[in-house]
Amino acid sequence: MKKKQFKTESQKLLDMMIHSIYTHKEIFLRELISNASDAIDKRHFRSLTDSTLGLDKDAYEIRLRVDREARTLTVSDNGCGMTQEDMEQNLGTIAKSGSFDFKKEHGANEEVDIIGQFGVGFYSAFMVADTITVTSRPLGASSAFIWESSGADGYTVTDGERDEVGTDIVLHIKDDTDDETYGEFLEEYRLRSLVKKYSDYIRYPIRMAVSHRKPKEGAEGEYETVIEDETLNSRIPLWKRSASEVTKEEYDRFYTDKFMDYEAPLKVITQTSEGTATYTALLFLPSHAPFNYYTKDYEKGLELYSSGVLIMDKCADLLPDYFGFVKGLVDSSDLSLNISREMLQHDRQLKVMAKAIEKKIKNELLKLLASDREAYETFFRAFGLQLKYGLYSDYGMHKDVLEDLVMFPSSKEKKLVTLKEYVEGCKEEQTSIYYAAGETVEKIELLPQVEAVREKGYEVLYLTDDVDEFALKMLSKYMDHDFKNVTADALDLSTEEEKQAVAEENKNADALLACMKEALGDAVSAVRFTASLKKRPACLSTEGEVSAEMEKVLNKMPGAEGAAVKASMILEINREHRIAEVLKQLYPAQEDKVKAYAKILYAQARLIGGMSIEDPGELSELITDLMV
C-alpha cells in the first residue's frame, strides 16, 4: 500500500515535536484524553440540533484498555468520531487542529468548552508509541476508517469496522531501553495516577477495567480475582462548584492533600472572573511559612489548568514575588493551550489574569486585616518579611499594593500597627512618622533618642528586620507623612527657644567640642551639646542618608567587605546632664582628661545604640585609670 506523506513543510517538524516540545513523556495521555473529551463535547453539541446523533448523557465515556501481551494501550471514546477526510486533515496535518476550527465556527460557549487548539497533542503519543492505529466511526456513518502510522515516514488510511460511533486510539508502546521504561504506561497504577494528576477534572468519566482481589462469596477465607470497572477521575473540580456549596473541611482537605501541608490554610480565596480573561482561581493563604520559604529552594507559582486539564504545575508568572507564599490554582477556558513555557510567558491573557489575581490577593488581605486581626497578625508573622522585601524591591514600584499591608511593632501598646493606624493616631501638628531601628524591641526602647521622642508624646515604630528601614526609605512618604529616624541628627523636636539656646551654647563651647572631636578622630564628624536628651549623658546621631542600623545591615551583606559603608555620626552630649558641666570645668586646664572622657562617652553611646565597641582594650584602660 502506498503511504501518504504528512502535510508539513518538513517531516523534521514531527521529529522536533516528539523530542522537544514536551519535557515529560507522560503527558501524551493527557493529550489523548483531552482529545477524547473534546470529541464527546462535539457530539453533544451536534445533538443539540439533531437529537438522533446524541447519546444519553450518562452514556458518554472515555475508556482506557491495556493489553500487556500485545503491548498496547487503547484510549477510546464515544464522541463524534472522524471521517476519512477528518483523518487526512487533522491527523495527517501536523499543527492543524480540527478543534480550533470547530471553535472558530461555533464560538466558545458553555456547550463547547473545547481544550485542543494547537493540533500537536495527538503526535505526543509518538513519544511512547512506535505505531499508532486510530479506528474511528464518524457520526452518521455506518462504517469506520483506520488510520495508521509509525511516525515520520507517513500514514495509511484504510476502511474498517466499528460497532458504534466513536474512536479507538491504539498505541503500540515502545520497547523499554536502558534509559526509558515505556512499559510503565501499561501498568494500571501508573495510568490511574496519571489520570489523577492531569485529567482528574475531565467532565466525562474515564474508565478502566481493573482487577481486584476480593473475598469469595460463600467461601470463607478464600479470595477471587474480579474485574471491575473503575472511574479514575473525580470529574467535577472543587473550584467549579459554587464556593457556598463547598464546606470548609472540603477546602481544607483539598489544600492539605494537594499542597502537602499538615496545617489547614489560614484563608481560602476564590475568584471567578469573566471579561477580559475568563478564569476561576482557588487560592490559599498558608497558616505558616514552609520550612524552605525564605531560601532559594522555594518555588512560587500556581497550578495552571486549561478547562480542567493541568497544563503547568507551578506557573510562576501568575504570582508576583511578594505574594509568592500564596498556593492554589487557576483554571481558564480561554488560555491558548500552550505548547511551551516560553510562549506562555508572553501570553496576554496570562498577564491580565496575573494582574487581577494580584489585586484580589491584596483586597482579601486588607479584608482579613479589617475583620480578623488575630489571623492577619498570624499571617504577617509568617510572611510579613516577604511583603517588606516587596516594598523595597524594584525601587519601590509596588508600594501601592503593599504599603497598607505592612505592620511594625510600635511604642504605644507594644503591638503591631499598620502605617495607617499610626497616622490616624498622630498628634494634630505631627507631619512625620517616627521610627527607630535595632536588633530587638527591647534594645530599641533603650535608645536615648527613643526615650526623648516618646516623652514628647509621639509614637515610635520599632524596626527590627534588616529590610525595614530600606523599605520605608523606598516609600518616602505615607499619607503625606514623611519618615524620620529618631536617631537622625536632623530630627529636632525642641522649641525654637531651646534650639537657639543650644546653638549659643555650642558656639561658646566650640574649643571644648573641637578638642573632644580631635580625641575621637574619624569616628565622628562632630561633637555637640543637645537639648533633646532627658536622662542619658550622650548619644550618637547620624547625619545624611545612612543610619547606624543601615550601616550594620549593608556591611554584613555578602560582598560588602572592603567597600565598607559608614554612617556619619555625631556625638551628642546632654546639656542638662552633670557631665556637661564637668566637661566645661575641665577644659582647657585638663585637656587630657577631656579627651579620655570623650572616648568613654563615645563608647557608652555606641553600646546604648546597639553597636559594638571598636577598641575594648583602650576603653577598659580608660575606665580603670578613673577608678584607681
Closer residue to ligand ADP (CB): 80 or 387: 80
Rounded distance between C-alpha atoms, residue 195 and residue 185, angstroms: 12
Query: 123 vs 322, which CB is nearer to ligand ADP?
Result: 123
Coil, strand or helix at 3: coil
Q: Quick one: DSSP state of residue 59?
A: G
Within 397-439, residue ranges assigned H as helices are 399-402, 419-424
Specify the residue, 29 or 601, whose C-beta has the smaller distance to ligand ADP.
29
Name which of 308 and 384 has its Cβ closer to ligand ADP.
Answer: 308
* In the complex, least distance from residue 44 CB atom to ligand ADP, rounded to whole angstroms: 13
Closest among 167, 121, 170, 115 to 148, alpha carbons compared: 170
The grid cell for 72 is: 498496547
Residues at the contact surface with ligand ADP, assessed by CB under 6 A: 31, 35-36, 39, 77, 79-82, 90-91, 97-100, 116-123, 167
Q: Please tell me the distance from the alpha carbon of residue 437 to that of residue 465, in angstroms, as a whole number.
A: 8
Give the residue with the Cβ less far from ligand ADP, 87 or 450: 87
Residue 340 Cβ, how far from ligand ADP at the closest point, in Å?
Answer: 14
- Whether residue 588 has a cis bond before it, omega within 30° of 0: yes
Closer to ligand ADP at the Cβ: 10 or 431? 10
Q: How far is the CB of 49 from ligand ADP (least distance, A)?
A: 19
Amino acid at 513: L
Question: At 212, phi and psi to the nearest 5?
Answer: -125, 150
Report the nearest approach of ligand ADP to the CB of residue 330 (Å): 20
* Cβ neighbours for 176, distance < 8 A, ≥ 6 positions apart: 182, 183
Do the beta carbons of residue 95 and residue 118 sit within 8 Å? yes
What number of other Cβ atoms are within 10 A of residue 4's Cβ?
Answer: 13
- The answer to whether the peptide bond before residue 205 is cis (omega within 30 degrees of 0) is no
Find the distance separating the first CA and the last CA of the chain, reported in whole Å: 114
- What's the closest the beta carbon of residue 39 comes to ligand ADP, in angstroms? 3
Q: Which residues contact 234 (CB under 8 A, 6 or more apart)?
A: 200, 201
* 163, 354, 623 from 137: Cα distances, Å: 8, 43, 101
Bridge partner residues of 284 (DSSP): 268, 327
Q: How far is CA 348 from CA 21, 66, 206, 277, 429, in A?
A: 21, 41, 33, 9, 48
We find the least distance from the C-beta atom of residue 187 to ligand ADP, in angstroms, to be 23
39 versus 266: smaller Cβ distance to ligand ADP = 39
Minimum Å gap between C-beta 199 and ligand ADP is 14
Q: Which of 79, 199, 221 has its CA nearest to residue 137?
A: 79
Is the Cβ of residue 124 or residue 485 nearer to ligand ADP in the bound state? 124
Cβ proximity of 618 and 599 under 8 Å: yes
**Is the Cβ of residue 32 or residue 238 nearer to ligand ADP in the bound state?**
32
Residue keyed to cell 510579613: 384
Q: Which residues contact 124 (CB under 8 A, 6 or more apart)?
A: 17, 18, 21, 22, 27, 28, 31
CB of 333 to ligand ADP, least distance (A): 14
Q: How far is the CB of 266 from ligand ADP (least distance, A)?
A: 39
Strand partners for 148:
133, 156
For residue 349, the minimal CB distance to ligand ADP (Å) is 17
Q: Is 465 helix (H, G, I), strand (E, B) or coil?
A: coil
Task: Give me the least distance between CB of 93 and ligand ADP, in Å please.
Answer: 8
Identity of the residue, 311 or 417, whose beta carbon is nearer to ligand ADP in the bound complex: 311
- C-alpha cell recorded at residue 145: 476508517
Compute the least distance from the CB of residue 339 to ligand ADP, in Å: 9
What does the DSSP 8-state code read for residue 314? E
Nearest distance, CB of residue 58 and ligand ADP, angstroms: 20
Judged by beta carbon, residue 233 or residue 506, the one nearer ligand ADP is: 233
Half-sphere exposure of 623 (CA within 13 A, CB side): 11
Residue with smaller CB distance to ligand ADP, 91 or 450: 91
Q: What share of the chain is helix, strand, coil (3-state, %, to 5)?
A: 40, 20, 35
Report, in Å, the least distance between residue 125 CB and ligand ADP. 9
Looking at the Cβ atoms of 25 and 481, the one nearer to ligand ADP is 25
Nearer to ligand ADP, 91 or 173 (CB): 91
d(CA 226, CA 223): 9
